[in-house]
Amino acid sequence: MGPDAIPLSKPDISQLEQTLVRDVLASGRLAIGPMQEEFERLVAARAGCAHGVAVSSGTAGLHILMQALGIGLGDEVVTTPLSFIASANPIVYVGARPVFADIDPRTLNLDPAKLEQAISPRTKAIIGVEAFGNPAHMDEYARIAAKYEIPLIEDSCEALGASHKGRRCGSFGRAGVFGFYPNKQITTGEGGMIVTDDSNLAAICRSLRNQGRDEFPDSASEQQRLGSWLAHGRIGFNYRMSEVAAAIGVGQMQRFDRMMEQRERIARLYIERLSGIGSLILPTIDPESTMTWFVFVVRLTTDYTAEERDRVIMGLRTHDVGSAAYFPCIHLQPPYRERFGFKPGDFPIAESVSNRTIALPFYNSLTEREIDLIAQTLEVMISRESITRG
Ligand SMILES: *Cc1c(COP(=O)(O)O)cnc(C)c1O
């Protein structure tokens, strides 16, 4: 890909974020400060949750939740095989066993019936993921979690601002997690946030992100706070978010509605331009969901092989259109095969979908002309495969 290529994603940073960052730098307060609190308030409100706990990444947020919920050795956590690897790795961090269930081929999320079949007496939690930002089934996962009296953790790293049946993503389970890497709906460079209505859980998460220090009520004196800086009630982590990162996040949240309108417009243009290509399956839009779009992922019909899909992606890149195979199945990544014995064929629907996905460029400043160009290039690359096949 050349310097004028259309990238797969691009952060949308305005003058506002730059000003807020400059203010933080000038203030001299670079960690544990007012920006983090403001960012927590803005994101929690957007998710319809009482508490937000800013952390250093979405992965760190999931790790903290595993720890806070007491999940460990001998426990099982059920999740989806079709996701970014970070939605399952935190299960392994705490010594528990990831148990996958196959997906619904329409929504690309965990199939609720298969999720329920995968639950055993050792299951201690469900991690539900909104794959590519699609919130379908999250209410069903919550119902299943309640039935078996286990917590649902919502990995909403791809779904900030989305909702399903009138309910905000992040608010379906005991806790939700957002990620703010530069390719997500909003970014802080690196960062994440836990959201929850459970004030006890929020307090434990605040402590765990901050080296296991106790949290104080707002009424605590400066003396009490100082005295306990070196008092650690539990083994925690340093998973804090810096004030610089939080300042970027505050600016992004202030522009959130406008940015999501742009994403919606781009998604609609894509659907319009791509719906005429016969070999493509477009994302299913559930009338009961609103999406904020993470990336735009289409897939080839089942008559295409993984090799043909790979050549289409390479062809797009050669023609300066960013593209990737989002996502290879987690259970087939080498450490999961080696440690847990997963193999091809274990989750046939997820594997079949994963072999045919094509992620297309998606970012707020993408123009209509660029979308036309992407659609045309994609169509040429696909017909090249059909022709060489004979
Ligand atoms: C991005 C992402 C994560 C991890 O977020 P980071 O901030 O990159 O650690 C976890 N789960 C899913 C589904 C993601 O897309």
One-character DSSP codes across 17-44: HHHHHHHHHHHT--BSSHHHHHHHHHHH
- SS3 at position 53: strand
**Any idea which residue has 């199939």 for tokens?**
111
The contacts of residue 304 (CB under 8 Å, 6+ apart) are 279, 356, 385
Q: How far apart are CA 105 and CA 330, in angstroms?
A: 17
2, pLDDT greater than 90 = no
- The CA-based angle 77-81-83, given to 5 degrees, is 105
Q: How far apart are CA 330 and CA 351, in angstroms?
A: 10
Would the CB of 185 count as within 6 Å of ligand 1?
A: no
For 140-158, the pLDDT digits (tens) are: 999 999 999 999 999 999 9
- Of 129, 117, 132, nearest to 153 by C-alpha is 129
**DSSP 8-state symbol, 226:** H
Percentage of residues of the chain with pLDDT beyond 90: 91
Ligand 1 mean position, distance from CA 319 (Å): 28
- The CA-based angle 352-97-179, given to 5 degrees, is 70
Q: How far apart are CA 166 and CA 267, in angstroms?
A: 21
Joined together, the tokens standing for residue 250 give 């505050």
Would the CB of 128 count as within 6 Å of ligand 1?
A: no
Q: For position 216, what pLDDT does the model report?
A: 66
Task: Mark out the alpha helices in the chain (DSSP H runs).
Answer: 15-27, 34-47, 58-68, 89-93, 112-117, 138-147, 199-209, 222-227, 243-254, 256-274, 306-318, 334-340, 348-354, 368-389
Would the CB of 179 count as within 6 Å of ligand 1?
A: yes
More confident site: 366 or 215: 366
Ligand 1 atom closest to Cα of residue 192: 7
For 199-251, the pLDDT digits (tens) are: 999 999 999 999 999 876 666 777 777 667 788 889 999 999 999 999 999 99
Domains of the chain: 15-254 (3.40.640.10), 256-388 (3.90.1150.10)
- Are 285 and 132 in contact by the 8 Å Cβ rule? The answer is no
Give DSSP secondary structure letters for 162-219.
-EETTEETT-SSSEEEEE-STTSSS--SS-EEEEES-HHHHHHHHHHHBTTBPP--TT
Ligand 1, atom 6, lies closest to the CA of 58
**Largest Cα–Cα distance in the chain?**
78
Ligand 1 atom closest to Cα of residue 87: 11
Ligand 1 pocket test, pick from 84, 103, 138, 294 with the greatest ligand atom count within 8 Å of Cβ, gives 84
- SS3 at position 232: strand
For 254-300, the pLDDT digits (tens) are: 999 999 999 999 999 999 999 999 899 999 888 999 999 998 999 99
- Are 263 and 292 in contact by the 8 Å Cβ rule? The answer is yes
Ligand 1 mean position, distance from CA 140 (Å): 22
Instruction: Find the catalytic residue in 10, 124, 184, 343.
Output: 184
Q: How far apart are CA 93 and CA 68, in angstroms?
A: 13
Would the CB of 87 count as within 6 Å of ligand 1?
A: yes
